Every structure is written in structure tokens, then in C-alpha cells.
Structure 1
């Protein structure tokens, strides 16, 4: 048992701090586990968030981090785990509390695609696809998602 005495505020703050970590075999760009949470994500205590909302917010951090490492010729896509359904260009991400995450996008041929997952089955593989040749800049959904977090 620990003899340390905490005030109620300290105990609540300690409980609310996120727990994350990462180890890499070689030097790499910073990853979401190493970076502070955006202020907007810290406003609501974790225990007050639905599993879908908390998964959605952390997924945003991974998407943005992945996009920060892409060149101007590529955009983020998602590979489907456990099936041979190909990849989906991520054009939107949402959640429906308490337990659903939704991905909106298109496949490499341009067909609209949507994936709906229960948070207990969340398993996402981030990939790249070349950006459309007719657009000057790649779409960066991660930056839009973080901006939306900060505005709500």
C-alpha cells in the first residue's frame, strides 16, 4: 500500500490521465502514443465518453499522424482486415454512441464505400493510395478531423 495522500482533485486528475506507450525497433517519426492529447480531447473525462467516442478520437490521432508522413502524391486509405475486399480511400470518419464507428470513402475505382464497425471489432489497417491525378493537392482527412474536434 502507498502512504501517499492525494487530494480529491489530484486523484481525479491522475485517473483521467491517459495511459499510452509505444516502443519501436528503430528511430521513427513521433507517434500518437508519444504526443500530448489535443486540448479538445482532454475536456471530457475518459470515463464520461462512450467506447465509440473514445475510439473515434484516438483513431483521429492515428490518421493525422499517418498523413503527416505522406508525400504530396499519396492519400490515406484503409485496408480491410480479415477479408479480400481491397482498400478504401478514407474520406470521412464518424461514430454513433455508444459503440459504432463508421468509415466513409471510395475504392480505387471511385465507387462509394462505407464500413460500419462495432468498437469491439475495430481493426484498421492504414494504407496509402495515389491521389487523384486531376486534383492538385492530396486530401488530408486527419487534419479536418482534428479541426472538428477542436471546434466542438
Structure 2
């Protein structure tokens, strides 16, 4: 293939950026839509994928998964995550972050209430999202997904102001 074949029109580039990058199929056709089946938020599609570090892209997709998972929870449960292949237990998610080019970090508390932080290389990323009963039954459930998505939108707006 020649370099000429690689050139895209502006319309083709915008179309390629808007394409869904994931896919999911369920046995139950009435199952709730998964993060892979939802359109990418504008904040994720403004920056070309080839300009994102593995950590940034993993962080952004984790936000989609967390937000979608929380939307399916009732008011009696909050999101937590378990670590596949580990005896680390469960972490009640209170925050996530990334450090370019390849580190993703999870902040929260474990089952005993102890402060917990997991620093993980993107090639080792393997988590299981779980629903846990709230710590305080009378309190409103803590929802990190909405805050993460809002922060992603705000940071994208901040970046466009710098340009």
C-alpha cells in the first residue's frame, strides 16, 4: 500500500474518529447496554487514538465501564472492584488516575475500611467491577462514575482552551 492510500479526507478522518472501538454480545437480547455498545463521549473522540498513551486510553475506557456499571446499580449498592488473580480482596472505588505512559492507579478502601491504593501497569490491568452494599445504609450511594466522566469532559475543555 502506498502513502497515498493512507491519506484521509477530513470527512473520513472525522468518521473514523467517531467509529465505535468495542463490541459486546449477550445471550439475553434485553440485557442492559454495555460500555462497548454505547457511543463514545465527545471527550474521548476529540483526541486521536494514536496520540493517547496506553495509560490515558485505559483510564478513559475504565471511566466508561465504571459509569455504565453504576447506572445499573440500585440505591442500596456502590461500586467496588476485585482483582483477578490476586488475594488483594476488594477495593471500594473512590478514585482512579493514570500516569503516562503506562500506569493506572485505583484509590479507595478495602473490606475492613483501610485506605487502599493499587498502582498497576496497563499490561497487567485485569479488574472485576462488583456491587457492594453501602457502608452507611441511610446515606445516598457514592457514585464515582459520574464524577469521573464530568472530570474527563472538563479536562478536555481545559485542553482546548490551551490550544
Query: With structure 1 as the length reference, what TM-score do the two structures score?
Result: 0.90
1:44 is aligned to 47
Name stretches of at least 5 consecutive residues in structure 1 with no aligned partner.
none
2:21 is aligned to 19
1:19 deviates by 2.1
Q: Distance in 2 between matches of 1:59 and 1:137?
A: 23
Q: Distance in 1 between matches of 2:54 and 2:48?
A: 12
1:66 is aligned to 69
Secondary structure in 2 aligned to 1:79?
Answer: strand
RMSD of aligned Cα (Å): 1.9
Is 1:106 the counterpart of 2:117 in the alignment? Answer: no
1:32 is aligned to 35
**Is residue 20–residue 39 contact of structure 2 (8 Å, CA) maintained in 1?**
no
1:151 deviates by 0.6
Q: Distance in 2 between matches of 1:15 and 1:43?
A: 11
1:38 deviates by 1.1
Secondary structure in 2 aligned to 1:70?
Answer: coil
1:90 is aligned to 93
Q: Distance in 2 between matches of 1:90 and 1:106?
A: 7
Pick aligned residue for 1:133 from 125, 132, 136: 136
Q: Distance in 2 between matches of 1:30 and 1:98?
A: 30
Greater helix share, 1 or 2? 2
Name stretches of at least 5 consecutive residues in structure 2 with no aligned partner.
2-6, 156-163
1:149 is aligned to 152
Q: Which has the higher contact order (CA 8 A, sep 6+)?
A: 1
Q: Distance in 2 between matches of 1:93 and 1:9?
A: 34
Q: Distance in 1 between matches of 2:111 and 2:81?
A: 11
1:8 is aligned to 9
